[in-house]
Amino acid sequence: MSLTPESQGLTLTVLGCGTMGISILGGVMATLADTRLRSHIPSPSPSGTSTPATEPPERLPSKFIACDSRREAEKTVKAGLGHYNFPLTTLTNENIRGASQADVILLACKPQGFKDILGEKGMKEAIAGKLLISILAGVTGKQIEDFLYPDGVPENACRVVRVMPNTASAVRESMSVIAASNPPLSPAQHSLVTWIFNSIGRTVSLPPTNMDACTALCGSGPAFFALMLEAVADGAVAMGLPRQEAQTMAAQTMRGTAGLVLNGEHPAMLRDKVSTPGGCTIGGLLVLEEGTVRGTVARAVREATVVASQLGQGVQGVNGTRR
């Protein structure tokens, strides 16, 4: 795939454009809109030194195609993205057409559905030589390549890269993990993938062997944190706080704590700073430790990792039920 500045921007197609697809497209469009706005605002005169921003790719998405199997998805896509005022086409049961017109393809269907989409007659030809980004939980890049090219990867094969974002993409606060590729992506391809997922939050790159654990931590993590947030809000309600205010206070407190950690504060040091001798915090912490909260939460991540590793194998649930 060549990302050169000669022609207009890239066309980004989403195959299986549900909630995650809409969130990612929304983040990309919002970032493009922000860039467009800043280009019309004069920059202040530089003073002192600053860290330069990461250089964007030479070519960015400028046209978008959303494909789905459900007719009602077209209305949902337009409602979620129409206000960004970028060229947007919605297609129902026309994956080949959407892939043929794309430069970059985002595979965002359910994990068990990728063979139906990529197995369509003509799909291999439609995606030949293009960048295929998969966000499917439990499905490895090698599984996709082996399905597309059972007789070996040809010269004009698409380039598959696996990324694990999470549901916070909807508010551009996702934690996305990009699986390292072998052979590595070209600098232009890597820059484009990183830019796309930086538009919806933060990114890190890790080996493919880590992706099931990343799915558990980043993909399932919002549900784990939501449960803990709800629990502390429940405790506050039990002590007399109104439900809505308690929930807002709990969410902002969790957000602030996360911000401190992202700014370099170690969780253990942060915990110790708040725990004054004989105070309320250490009393509450001891109750949590007596309830084995730390071990239980860690075990939840381990269990989710095991289940994530089975998703791409057609196995569902803790007991390994075959779909």
- Bind-site residues for NADP(+): 15-20, 43, 108-111
Distance CA 315, CA 100 (A): 32
Alpha helix positions (H), the chain: 19-38, 72-81, 95-100, 114-118, 123-126, 141-148, 187-198, 211-214, 221-238, 243-262, 267-274, 280-290, 293-311
* DSSP β-ladder status, 201-206 and 174-179: parallel
Among 240, 238, 236, smallest CA distance to 248 is for 236
Annotated binding-site positions: 15-20, 43, 95, 108-111
Residue 15 bridge partners (DSSP): 67, 107
Residues flagged as binding site for NADPH: 95
Residue 280 Cα distances to 5, 276, 287, angstroms? 60, 8, 11
User: What is the signed CA dihedral for 52, 54, 60, 61, rounded to 10 degrees?
Assistant: -120
Tell me the CA distances in angstroms from 112 to 47, 82, 105, 202, 245, one per residue in order. Answer: 54, 29, 18, 27, 40
- The C-alpha atoms of residue 280 and residue 265 are separated, in whole angstroms, by 22
CA dihedral 174, 175, 176, 180 (to 10 degrees): 170
Nearest Cα neighbor of 61 from 109, 96, 107, 26 is: 26
- Stated as kind and residue range, the H or E segment containing 62 is strand 61-68
Residue 4's contacts (CB-CB under 8 Å, 6 or more residues apart) are: 58, 59
Cα 72 vs. chain centroid, distance in angstroms? 24
